[in-house]
Structure 1
Amino acid sequence: MDKVKSERTYYPHVVVGMIIGCVIACAITVKIAMDHPVEMDTFYMEKYQKVENNINEIIELQGKFDTQFNLAYSTEKFEMGQNSITLKLTDKSGVAVNNANITMMLSRPDSNKDNKQLLPSKVENGNYTFGPFEINKPGRWQILSKINVGEFKGYHKNEAYAAQ
Structure 2
Amino acid sequence: MSKVKTERNYYPHAVVGMIIGCVIACGYTIKIALDNPVEMDTYYMEKYQNVDENINEILELQEKFNANFTLAYSSEKFHKGQNEITLRLTTKRGEVVENADITLMLSRPETNKENQTLRPSRVEKGLYTFGPFTIEKEGRWQLLSKIQVGEFKGYHKDEAYAVK
TM-score, L = length of structure 1: 0.97
For 1:162 and 1:101, the matched residues in 2 are separated by: 26
What residue ranges of structure 1 are gaps of 5+ in the alignment?
none
Percentage of identical aligned residues: 71
Deviation, structure 1 residue 3: 5.1
Aligned to 2:121, what secondary structure does the other structure show? Answer: strand
2: distance between equivalents of 1:78 and 1:3? Answer: 84
* CA–CA separation in structure 2 for the residues paired with 1:96 and 1:13: 76
Look up the SS of the partner of 1:132 in the other structure.
strand
- TM-score, normalising length from structure 2? 0.97
* Consecutive unaligned residues in structure 2, runs of 5 or more: none
Distance 1:154 1:76 in 2: 20
Match of 1:96 in 2: 96
Partner of 2:35: 35
Distance 2:4 2:55 in 1: 75
Which residue identity lines up with residue 115 of structure 1 in the other structure? N
Q: Does 1:127 align with 2:156?
A: no
Whole-angstrom distance in 2 between the partners of 1:40 and 1:92: 33
Q: Distance in 2 between matches of 1:124 and 1:110?
A: 34
- How many residues matched? 164
Determine the structure 2 residue equivalent to 1:78: 78
Post-superposition offset of 1:2? 6.4
Aligned residue number for residue 65 of structure 1: 65
SS in 2 for 1:120: coil
Distance 1:122 1:145 in 2: 16
